[in-house]
Chains A and B, each alone.
Chain A
Amino acid sequence: MRKNLLTKSSLIAKELQYDIEQGSLLHMEKLPSERELSDIFKVQRGTIREALDLLVQERLIFSKPKVGYFVNEKRVRKFTNPLALNDPSKRDNLVRERISFEKIYADSWLSNQMLVPKSSEVYRIVIICYDDKVVVGKERYYLLSDTTGTITEKDMNTFSVAELATKGIIKTASSNIKSNQKITLAYTNSSDSSLFGIEENTPLLRHRGLEYNEKGQLVLFYDNFLLPHYFEFYRMEQTYHDK
């Protein structure tokens, strides 16, 4: 049994994954050649190729024909803690461009998503996220005016969405803030495929969330469409402390 649980190639793939995660192989850096790797791990080149294949399939590395294998770009880290977007240490470094801000009245779809009565007053903000000029996400935020109060165009230019959503939230109470998020797979429709510059029906990661204030009132609903391979999501227990 001792050798059967994982094949030699999966074990080597794990070792290489460790090197990538620990940073001894840098993102966009070229991996040692197949020959060098087979010397390092003392296995045949076929086994190395299988290990590299596994990593390519998992999108940790990619191959450039006739050049070699390279470590993929680091994924953008997101946190799923409640209102993580309001915590500077948990914010990502994407460039955001607000393309619209308007006051709307919840239609049936929105009232169903937000669990609020139809025709509730909602501020809708649409933002496009860029990573190095590449569109990687479309974020739609819906703020319930009942809890956030009036938001003006001027507020929009001064505050972030998170700041607007948390107006009136006592910071120290943040551990009691409720949030409910889900991640599903979606496929691009025609307008999103032209926005992202990808073909129609390409998989997208859809991240939806409802966030509440310390009184348990809904403040924010978001519905984000993201390129699936650009992001990673983290969740840590409040009680867990890094050693």
Chain B
Amino acid sequence: MTNKVLNYYDLSEIISARIERNEYLPGELLPTEKDFISRYNISRQTTRKAIELLKEEGYVRSVQGQGTFVEKINHSKVAFGVINESDNASFTSLVRKFGIEISSKLLATGAIDSNRFFSSKLEIGLDETIFGIHRIRYGNREPLAIEYTYLPLKFFEDINKHNFEHVSLYDYMATKEHLPLNFREKFIMTQANAKIAKYLGLTDDLTVNKMEITGFDSENNIVEFTESYSRPDKLEVRFVTK
């Protein structure tokens, strides 16, 4: 094994594995190029390419004149937005597949009068009422996303009797025969506002994923409009068509 000459990819794999095993800790200075060159008997170019790749993958970050630092760990990254015709978009079901313990905390729920914004998103009248559910989603007890979900109250009149910290919203919607089956999504990266940054624990870089999800039931009624803000370092957004 030791006789084999390492290429840049091998080196990047060695380093990323160490970061994932917490041998190199977030914020720690990575060994210098020189260290890697003498330790593995490789060229400067190989070392540089490996570091560039680690930067692209978000494992490390270079600071001019100081060196290369280990970034926040990436191994808890989970996929989000894996939606296709057969799956539904429930956050819990999506993320559960990746073996992460998911929990939610309710921030607020309640009925409000619709306005022009919500009426256009939910395609309902201005005189109608909507029901909002604001939740923080945790993966392994770390905040991953904050979700603002709005439903037309007319389809879910007893919604106030349920606590969606423990009951799946989609299970409930299915009992009302208004389970969203088709989705339209819009994704952007934007800046977290102060409140969202606080909930998600963002301090330095405030870039967040924002996904707007519109859910249609079997009769093509819009039954859900969700604005989800998630941490790009924790959630990887995927679009999959099978």
Contacts and interface: CB of A to CB of B under 8 A. Distances in A.
Nearest to B123: A243
Contacts of A107: 7, 9
Interface in B142-165: none
B4 interface: no
A200 interface: yes
A1 B108 CA distance: 9
B216 A240 contact: yes
B115 A237 contact: no
B240 A181 contact: yes
A203 B207 contact: yes
Interface stretch (B31-39, B57-65, B90-98): B57-65
A64 interface: no
A237 B58 contact: no
Contact of A239 (B108, B182, B186, B193): B182
Given A57-B191, A107-B7, A184 B241 contact: no
Contacts of B24: none
A232 B212 CA distance: 11
A182 B238 contact: yes
A239 to B, nearest CB: 6
Contact of A82 (B9, B189, B241): B241
Nearest to B51: A189
Interface in B221-242: 232-233, 236-242
A182 B58 CA distance: 14
Contact of A18 (B111, B117, B241): B117
A201 B194 CA distance: 22
Contacts of B64: 200
Interface string A42-66: 0000000000011001110000000
Interface string B168-209: 000000000000001111111111111000000000010101
Instruction: Give the residue among B111, B216, B240 with the most A Cβ atoms within 10 A.
Output: B240
A233 to B, nearest CB: 4
B9 A235 contact: no
A235 B53 contact: no
Interface of B: 7-10, 12, 52-53, 55-56, 58, 61-64, 79, 83, 85, 108-113, 115-118, 120, 123, 132, 134, 182-194, 205, 207, 209-210, 216, 220, 232-233, 236-242
Q: Closest 4 A-B residue pairs measured CB to CB?
A: A108-B9, A185-B232, A1-B110, A228-B189
Given A4-B108, A18-B115, A237-B183, 6 more contacts: A3-B112, A5-B109, A58-B210, A183-B237, A187-B58, A232-B186
